[in-house]
Structure 1
Amino acid sequence: MANYQKSEAALAESAQLIGIFAEKIRRQIIIALGNSGDGLNVTDITALVNISRPAVSHHLRLMREAGVIAMRSNGVEHIYYLTLTEPLKLLQTTFTTLATDFDATTPKS
């Protein structure tokens, strides 16, 4: 029998991260940072995603809290860059848990 409590816990743990990837602007920021090589500052990101600076800052804060990006200081400017290794491991674990639980319940034809 499948352990649905384990699936629920895995989904709950990944919910914030799934929300990060679900939002279009944050996906655009992820792509921009991935293409940047060495990271981008808020001004660069604002120009690329075409939203206000405060809106970009809001999205960057959420992404930092979820562990998808990090920031380093370069004098007075902040440079943002991707940190996807741990978030992707968490998602992989979540999806493996779901596959294990729900593949076991799929009727065989």
Structure 2
Amino acid sequence: MANFQASETALATSAPLIGIFAEKIRRQIIIALGNSDDGLNVTDITALVNISRPAVSHHLRLMREAGVIDMRSNGVEHIYFLTLTTPLKQLQATFATLAADAQIDRD
């Protein structure tokens, strides 16, 4: 029987990031930003996901904290864009740990 502590640790570390992708509005924002060449401002995002500006700002804050998006200033407006490289590497490492533990359990 394998010791699944590595899987538990990896999943606990990745849980906030997994939660970002689990929520429908955030997935819609990620897709919208992925389809944008230069990023989007809050007004653009609000129109696309059809929720209030404060709600969009809340989701954007969570996504920035998770490293899924970042922001640059363009005068007085903020432009949001995807930054998926590090979060995807984290998820890949988590799933590799899970796969390794599962393989150990089968041996």
Q: Distance in 1 between matches of 2:45 and 2:3?
A: 42
Deviations 1:78-104 (A, max 9, x none): 000000000000000000000110122
Q: State the TM-score, normalizing by the size of structure 1.
A: 0.94
Within 5 Å, which residues of 2 pair with 1:43-62? 43-62=43-62
For the residue of structure 1 that corresponds to 2:47, the secondary structure is helix
Deviations 1:6-25 (A, max 9, x none): 11110011000000000000
Deviations 1:37-73 (A, max 9, x none): 1100000000000000000000000000000000000
Percent of aligned pairs sharing the same letter: 82
Q: State the TM-score, normalizing by the size of structure 2.
A: 0.96
> In the alignment, what sits opposite 1:95?
95
For the residue of structure 1 that corresponds to 2:18, the secondary structure is helix
Unaligned runs of at least 5 residues, structure 2: none
> In the alignment, what sits opposite 2:84?
84
RMSD: 1.1
For the residue of structure 2 that corresponds to 1:79, the secondary structure is strand
Q: How many correspondences in the alignment?
A: 107
